[in-house]
Amino acid sequence: MRTERTRIGARRRLFTLDLPQETPDGFGGVVRSFQPGPRVWGAIEALGLDERERAGRPEEAVTHRVRLRHRADLDGRMRLTLGARRFAVRAATDPDGTGRETVCLCEEIKP
């Protein structure tokens, strides 16, 4: 029996990996912008909705799991783009340690 992870065609969405470009802001911090990087095939799965309060107002954060072919260079400063949708990478891991797959926990960025 094949699982979603190993089924042929499971990674049928073409994402763009956006790479961070950091510029000093003159006050000890940085201004982060993004440049399109490599395009990668992946599978996306909605995990749920996280409600939280920000600046005294309720805010919803949609969380997703994105499965990609293994990439050792992914980190939490990057983001994934799928069409007009953008996803901030919050965590990236190799779930079984085999180097076959990278699983990213992402938060959808609302415009």
Question: 45-92, pLDDT tens digit by residue?
Answer: 999 877 777 777 877 777 899 999 999 889 889 999 999 999 999 999
* Contact in structure between 14 and 43 (CB atoms under 8 Å): no
Q: Which residues face 105 on adjacent strands?
A: 65, 91
In single-letter form, the type of residue at position 63 comes to T
Q: Please tell me the pTM assigned to this model.
A: 0.78
Q: What structural domains and CATH numbers belong to the chain?
A: 13-109 (2.40.10.270)
- Which secondary-structure segment (H or E) carries 13? strand 13-24
Nearest-10 Cα torsion for 65, 70, 72, 76: -10
Here the tokens at position 59 are 């805010």
Determine the average pLDDT of the residues in 28-35: 93
